[in-house]
Amino acid sequence: MAVGNVMLGVFSAVQEQAKAELVLSDFQMSLLNGLAVSIPLAVLAIPVGLMVDRAVRVRMLLWTAIVWTAGTLLTAFAENLPLLFLARMLGGVGANISTTIAISLAADLSLPERRGRSLLLLTIGKYAGTGLAFALGGWLLGLFLAHGGVEGLAPWRSIHLVLGLFSLLIVLALAFLREPARLETRVGPQASIRETFRELAEYRSFLIPLFIGQIGVLMADAAAAIWAAPVLSRSYGVTPQEFAGWLGAVVFGAGILGALIGGFAADAGLKSERRGGILLGAIIASVVALPAAVFPLAPSVPSFALALFVLLFGGTITGLVTATALAVLLPNELRGLSIGVFLAVGGLIAFGVAPTLVTGVSALLGGETFLAQALAVVGLAVSVLGCGGFIVARKHAPQPVR
């Protein structure tokens, strides 16, 4: 999970250099960071979710790692927008699709009452990777700017080449994972697809508002992750070499602390045996993170960092609580499919719509110089949507599957 998110996120850390070399606009960059990542999710997340509920998951995880590695290496040599778009698609499908597989595996490797703490390890891996993407990206950028790129490649390309080769080594470790037995099934993995979708529809009063809540948070976090670096460069005059280290620490710290609190909060909420108690942590976290959505308008770099930390901290908690709720409140044969639906539609909206929505709002406000204001407007609006969704989902939460 960590390596996959490094490969996916490192482009955001050095995107200003790629934009300058290829002479791209903010809108084109939003396509590379948003639509390129969301298209594979929209197309593949549901089919992969169905496969996760039926196939050998450890082999699927290995193939997704191969795909994200290929995307990283292709990024190093892409000479035009279409080829770079393809490379970003490969990186996105590998890193994001692996989430569905990993959650399903982790659920079968832990008891329901400890599932939140089990999934927090995956969340730590995700945010460790995202944080390292900024830290490594900035450090390597400074290194290659000072000493030249690999074989004459531009620094941002050299970074992707080096990290892609490193990913090849990590991929080999996944070949040694063993498939665990499936637990807590209701109709079983041999059920027809039609029967599976019919069973999933029985949970719609819970899943729809839960989806709305999580998509609101995802949109705010996705827009922040993609546009934080450009806002720092344009509004605060800070270079990637200067902000990469502390920005990576902010992302990583928010992920670690949010994962720990979210995992224990989910388990404690489940233990309370109150209806929807498992979602209480998500509601509180989304409310706490709401004011932090205006972080791009912070008066100084330290306050920018603090507000961004709070926003990502809340998003980490809600994401972990949501994943735990799906892994506890739904039967085994619906977990992959439900997560796949969340990733397909949620990924398309969060990664495909949110970044471009920010550029659209900035255009309405007056152009690319209003990027910070646009990011704040979009982040605040979708964060309010997220809070409301979690509140409604809690009222309709089913009892845990035993």
Read off the pLDDT band of 187 (50, 70, 90).
low
Contacts of 7 (CB under 8 A, 6+ apart): 68, 69, 71, 72, 91, 94, 95, 129, 133, 163, 164, 167
- CA–CA dist 317, 41 (Å, integer): 22
The number of angstroms, rounded, from the C-alpha of 255 to the middle of its chain's C-alpha atoms is 11
Question: Residue 347, Cβ neighbours under 10 Å: how many?
Answer: 26
Q: What is the mean pLDDT of residues 183-210?
A: 76
Q: How far apart are CA 315 and CA 275, in angstroms?
A: 22
Backbone angles phi, psi at 260, to 5 degrees: -60, -50
Return the beta strands (E) in 65-120 as ranges: none
Over 70: is that where the pLDDT of 350 sits?
yes
Identify the pLDDT of residue 402: 59
CA torsion sign, 361 to 364 to 368 to 369? negative
Token readout for 215 is 């998509």
Is the separation of the CB atoms in 14 and 155 below 8 Å? yes
Q: What is the pLDDT of residue 331?
A: 81
Spatial CA neighbour of 309 closest among 393, 252, 385, 386:
252
Predicted model pTM: 0.71
d(CA 290, CA 187): 40
pLDDT in tens, 52-99: 888 899 999 999 999 999 999 999 999 999 999 999 999 888 887 888
Find where tokens 């961004």 sit: 308
The confidence score (pLDDT) of residue 195 equals 77
Query: Lowest mean pLDDT: which of 11-15, 98-102, 338-342?
Result: 338-342
Q: Which residue has the tokens 């190093």?
A: 76
Q: Which two tokens stand for residue 286?
A: 């989304």
Residue 46 has pLDDT above 90, yes or no: no
Spatial contact of 307 and 87, defined as CB atoms under 8 Å apart: no
* Two structure tokens written together for 395: 């009222």
Ordered by start, the domain boundaries in the chain are 2-173+193-395
User: What does R_g of the chain's alpha carbons equal in angstroms?
Assistant: 20
pLDDT confidence of 306, banded at 50, 70, 90? very high
User: CB count, 10 Å around CB of 186?
Assistant: 12
d(CA 361, CA 368): 10
C-alpha closest to that of 98 among 1, 182, 211: 1
Q: What is the percentage of the chain residues whose pLDDT exceeds 90?
A: 37
Q: What architecture is the 2-173+193-395 domain classified under in CATH?
A: Up-down Bundle (1.20)
Tell me: the pLDDT tens digits for 162-179? 999 999 988 888 888 899
The per-residue pLDDT for range 81-92, each reduced to its tens digit, is 999 999 999 988
Lowest mean pLDDT among 37-41, 211-215, 285-289: 37-41
DSSP 8-state code for residue 370: G
Lowest-pLDDT range of 37-46, 78-87, 191-200, 263-272: 191-200
**What is the spatial distance between Cα 316 and Cα 185, in angstroms, rounded to a whole number?**
28
> Which two tokens mark 371?
């990027």
Please say if the pLDDT value at position 348 is more than 90. no
Cβ neighbours of 152 (radius 10 Å): 8
pLDDT of residue 189: 53
Biggest CA pair distance of the chain: 61
Average pLDDT value for residue range 155-167 = 93
